[in-house]
């Protein structure tokens, strides 16, 4: 790839700022394997990207759910993308705290979810104390991504992946997925 | 009715995107060194914390999650409706993820907790713990291991288990071990969904038909005798609570009673006696015969191929 040799800032060795910029760009463009319309940056799982000017890059990511099977694929994809961007030594670190929340999905990410037929999440429940029990389906704003109707009924809190609930639009009768608040 | 035409030979295969044309093997995440759940996490044991106790405590919480994850996975393809099949598999996956983090935490805190395998064994520590310990080495409560029974009985077990686990995890968010605290903070949001799911089914089934009510009451008779064990403290749990890294299960009893009261009142079901004498002490490695059968199935593949990489 074309490598623009630019000098770094005064405090950094030559090339560090440029390397960091390239590493961030490469890492932020990697897409989620289960929500391929979103980049890792849109999804909010990319915590930190660092690079030195000598071919080393370190990426910190946070898993969505404890058991999310996509995390291994995400790590491999990041490794592959950064190598393709010219980094010979790539380290992908896991960060567990603070835990990922759907509140970390960017505005662009929410728009892309809706455009691709997934109803974006509302604000996540936050509690430092006991989580409130809910004997009836959680009230949430689930808009049908096909007809825009606000009337939808919950089919199941658990969908095709850990992060999604299943709804059915009562207006156009189509089923759709809602990214559930966590 | 017209049939859709066969795909043109030159049409791009829908599977094409699954294969990396550059032949980069790193896309195959598993077995490529990318699946350590604590990769890059600082696993230093905080000063003043006993690493043997920390490892034993993480095994207890990890084994609870692992064994129930296996039981829930038994529902796969057998649940009453496809949606429940998917829901139970998702809950199982959440618990499996928690178990992996906790077993990896145990192994990192005290490598002596991991069963010894040949030095060139490819089996990672979390797998060695899950797949190469015998029943006596497991520290889960009996509630996690008892057979599923029917859907009503499984719902009641999941209710009791998640009410209790949620109460523990809520408090463990303040653990003196930062790894345990982070695992708990993540687990709280997940187990809250599990608890609500089980609570709604408990009420629905108990107030459904005469048959569903009969089965739910029978389920309670099978599950409730294992409730008291959840609140009987083991010395490891007490020492960890004393070090502000764990929670004494006795401490969460009132909170659990309160939540169970709300659900069981709505369901009009008898309450379990949370203060009864316990029958089995899973925390000490005592188990019902059901655990050995469960592990025989869960561990058979790994034990037949101890050098297999997945």
Structurally, chain B folds into a number of domains equal to 1
Cβ contact (<8 Å) for B190 and A133?
no
Contact B27 A77 (CB under 8 A): yes
Evaluate whether residue B23 is within a structural domain. no
Task: Give the highest mean pLDDT range of A52-56, A129-133, B199-203.
Answer: B199-203
Measured N-to-C along each axis, helices B253-267 and B151-172 cross at an angle, to the nearest 10 degrees, of 150
Distance between CA B37 and CA B70 in Å, rounded?
Answer: 19
Nearest to B160 by CA among B231, B223, B97: B223
Interface A-B, measured as beta-carbon pairs within 8 A, has a size of 141
pLDDT class for B35, splitting at 50, 70, 90? confident
Placement of tokens 């939540």 in the chain? B259
Task: Show the DSSP H helices in chain B as ranges.
Answer: 51-73, 82-109, 125-131, 142-145, 151-172, 178-206, 210-223, 235-242, 253-267, 289-304
**Residue B39, domain member (yes or no):** no
pLDDT tens-digit readout, A12-41: 666 899 999 999 999 999 999 989 999 999
Hey, of A75, A158, A162, A166, which one would you mutate to test binding to chain B, going by the most B CBs within 10 A of its CB?
A158
Domain count, chain A: 2
Query: For residue B229, which of B294, B271, B170, B273 has the smallest C-alpha distance?
Result: B273
Token pair belonging to B5: 């035409």
Residue B182: CA count within 13 A, CB half-sphere: 22
Question: Each residue of B164-180: pLDDT tens digit?
Answer: 999 999 999 999 999 99
Q: Please tell me which of the candidates B188, B190, B199 has its beta carbon nearest to residue A65.
A: B190
> How far from B288 is each of A15, A81, B164, CA to CA, in Å?
63, 50, 20
A117 part of a folded domain: yes
Other Cβ atoms within 10 Å of B226 Cβ, number: 23
CATH of the domain at B70: 1.20.1260.10
Q: Could you say which DSSP state residue A167 is in?
A: E
In 3D, which of B183, B282, B116 has the Cα closest to residue A66? B183
Confidence of residue A72 (pLDDT cuts 50, 70, 90): confident
Give the containing element (helix H, strand E) for A139: none
Question: Region B119-129: what's the mean pLDDT?
Answer: 93
CA distance A76 to chain B (A): 6
Nearest chain B residue (CA) to A92 = B40
Q: What is the pTM of this model?
A: 0.91
CATH number at residue A55: 3.30.300.130
Residues A175, A115: one domain? yes
The domain of B124 spans 49-304
Domain membership of residue A134 (yes or no) is no
User: Which residues of A fall within a CB distance of 8 Å from B66?
Assistant: none
């Amino acid at each position: 790839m074309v490598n623009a040799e630019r000098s770094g800032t005064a405090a950094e060795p030559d090339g560090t700022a440029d390397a960091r910029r390239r590493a961030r760009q490469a890492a932020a463009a990697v897409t989620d394997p289960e929500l391929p319309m979103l980049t890792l940056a849109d999804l909010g799982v990319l915590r930190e990207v660092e690079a030195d000017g000598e071919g080393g890059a370190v990426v910190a990511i946070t898993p969505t759910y404890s058991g999310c099977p996509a995390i291994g694929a995400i790590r491999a994809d990041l490794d592959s993308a950064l190598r393709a961007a010219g980094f010979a030594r790539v380290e992908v670190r896991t960060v567990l705290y603070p835990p990922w929340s759907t509140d970390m999905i960017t505005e662009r990410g929410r728009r892309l979810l809706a455009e691709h037929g997934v109803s974006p999440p509302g604000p996540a429940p936050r509690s430092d104390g006991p989580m409130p029990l809910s004997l009836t389906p959680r009230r949430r704003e689930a808009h049908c991504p096909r007809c825009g109707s606000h009337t939808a009924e919950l089919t199941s809190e658990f969908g095709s992946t850990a992060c999604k609930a299943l709804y059915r639009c009562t207006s156009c009768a189509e089923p759709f997925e809602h990214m559930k608040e966590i | 009715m017209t049939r859709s035409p066969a795909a043109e030979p030159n049409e791009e295969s829908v599977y094409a995107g699954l294969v990396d044309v550059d032949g980069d093997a790193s896309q195959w995440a598993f077995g490529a060194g990318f699946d350590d759940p604590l990769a890059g996490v600082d696993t230093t044991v905080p000063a003043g914390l006993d690493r043997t106790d920390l490892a034993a405590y993480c095994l207890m919480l990890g084994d609870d999650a692992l064994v129930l994850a296996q039981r829930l996975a038994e529902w796969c393809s057998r649940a009453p409706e496809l949606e429940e099949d998917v829901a139970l598999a998702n809950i199982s996956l959440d618990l499996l993820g928690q178990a992996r983090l906790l077993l990896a935490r145990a192994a990192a805190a005290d490598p002596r907790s991991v069963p010894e395998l040949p030095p060139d064994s490819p089996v990672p520590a979390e797998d060695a713990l899950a797949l190469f310990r015998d029943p006596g080495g497991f520290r889960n409560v009996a509630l996690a291991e008892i057979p599923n029974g029917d859907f009503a009985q499984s719902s009641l077990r999941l209710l009791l288990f998640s009410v209790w686990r949620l109460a523990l995890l809520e408090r463990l968010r303040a653990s003196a071990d930062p790894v345990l605290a982070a695992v708990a903070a993540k687990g709280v949001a997940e187990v809250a969904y599990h608890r609500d799911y089980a609570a709604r089914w408990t009420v629905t089934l108990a107030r459904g038909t005469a048959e569903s009510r009969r089965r739910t009451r029978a389920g309670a008779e099978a599950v409730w005798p294992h409730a008291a064990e959840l609140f009987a403290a083991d010395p490891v749990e007490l020492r960890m609570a004393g070090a502000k890294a764990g929670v004494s299960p006795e401490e969460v009893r009132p909170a659990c009673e309160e939540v169970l009261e709300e659900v069981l009142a709505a369901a009009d079901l008898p309450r379990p006696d949370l203060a009864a004498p316990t029958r089995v002490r899973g925390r000490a490695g005592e188990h019902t015969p059901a655990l050995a059968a469960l592990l025989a199935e869960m561990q058979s593949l790994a034990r037949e191929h101890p050098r297999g990489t997945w």
